[in-house]
Amino acid sequence: MAHKKKLPLDPVTVTIESLSHDGRGVSHVNGKVVFIDEALPGETLEFVYTDSRKDYAEGKVVNLLTRSEHRVEPACPHFGSCGGCSFQHVDDAEQINFKEDLLRDQFRRIGKVEIPQIWEALTGPHWGYRSKARMGVKWVAKKNRVLVGFRERRNPFLAEIDSCKVMNPIVGEKLIALGEMIAGLTVKDKIPQIEVAIGDKECVLAFRLLEPPTDADKQRMREFAHQHDLTICLQPKGPDTIVPLDGEPEVIPSYALTEQGVKFNFRPAMFTQVNYAINQKMVTRALAALELTKDDRVLDLFCGLGNFTLPLATQAGQVVGVEGDLPLVKHARENAKLNKLDNVEFHVADLTKDLKDQPWSKQKFTKVLLDPSRAGASEVLHNLKHWQPERIVYVSCNPSTLARDTGILVNELGYKLLKAGVMDMFPQTAHVESIALFVK
């Protein structure tokens, strides 16, 4: 059996050359690239190895010899151990610069396209912004404590944290109290996760349960929920099994896009944007970029529960939303009725498959909006030849697949990229949300 090669123990001195796509400092030692947590370009430092592979190594800073002008003190005492944030040591303006530089680089390197104009970055609150999350839960007998939160950095174990500064404070400041409540349950070791769903006014916590709680457990949860002005639901199996505690009313969280005058109800496990302030600005920018009129027929692909579709319907003549998840589509239809919008329709379709037999796909559309998952939208783009939209807005949570798809749109389908930019949906992290505008 092969023994794992021992890592060098002595600190190594390097100067950081750049940042990787996930925000780690990049340097080279004896020709091998090394990725170093919490290191910034231009800094000279000492690091120790934490891992070494054939093509690269990883390390952590043990001593800063020079400091970047962009380095700041992290606001959270758990930064470095908790893996939820990776950028708290970088000032806010430089976080945006990094994300814009990454976007340009990905477009140039992957899509073979230069961005002619960078949209001004959309920014919002840097702390307490997160309204959706899946938190891990773990009973640790040795510490006689239930941990609630997120995994350690580059480690499958839950971090031991007391609070989370990027979470909405209604939950982020109550992790200790939440853990203490769970520690008093008979099923304290049978709760692997909590789905957090915070609306404009409501906070719902859905507890995944591997075994049924006792009546006393339910009463303890009920009292905690009433004390902290939130709702606790139980999830015995999949997301569609989430139900209120016995005798408690069902609370449906909701959020509003006030500029477009629409409201969305959603279930706790459904996908919604985590940052409501940026979501509002993002929707407003997308609608403005599409230059909508009542003569427009708009196609919204990967539409989810209608986050873009319903606002589009307030300005366009007809809107078609398409999504692969049936429960989301059903909810989108309900939200269309809630908002009294009758010029919008929703369809269920796997957008990675052939769409030529779908009746909606045989139509023509003047404008298209795409908001795919991290995998991007490459499989659906060839349909644009038939749809013939004159303007396309592409919203992305992964700059590399956006860059790849931009290459297809520009170099294969003849569209022109007008502008692209970042939207700071996830401050204090290296996650990049972006938007691009294409015209024929």
Catalytic residue numbers read 397
**Ordered strands of the 318-323 beta sheet:** 344-348, 318-323, 297-301, 367-370, 391-396, 433-439, 416-423
User: Distances from the Cα of 196 to the Cαs of 100, 139, 244, 247, 334, in angstroms?
Assistant: 30, 19, 14, 21, 22
DSSP letter at 128 equals S
Q: Which two tokens stand for residue 404?
A: 């790849």
Q: Three-class SS of residue 413?
A: coil
Q: Which helix (H) or strand (E) holds 281?
A: helix 276-290
CA pair distance 209, 184, nearest whole angstrom: 15
CA pair distance 326, 303, nearest whole angstrom: 11
Identity of the amino acid at 141: A
Identity of the amino acid at 118: I
- Our CA dihedral for 405, 407, 413, 414, rounded to 10 degrees, sits at 130
One DSSP character per residue, 330-367 reads HHHHHHHHHTT--SEEEEE--TTS--TT-GGGGS--SE
- Our CA dihedral for 327, 328, 329, 331, rounded to 10 degrees, sits at 90
**Cβ atoms 145, 437 nearer than 8 A:** no
CA pair distance 349, 322, nearest whole angstrom: 6
Beta strands in 202-333 (DSSP E): 203-208, 231-235, 243-244, 254-257, 262-265, 297-301, 318-323
CA pair distance 126, 143, nearest whole angstrom: 33
Q: Which two tokens stand for residue 320?
A: 């078609």
CA pair distance 266, 252, nearest whole angstrom: 6
For 220, residues 6+ apart whose C-beta sits below 8 A from its C-beta are 181, 184, 185
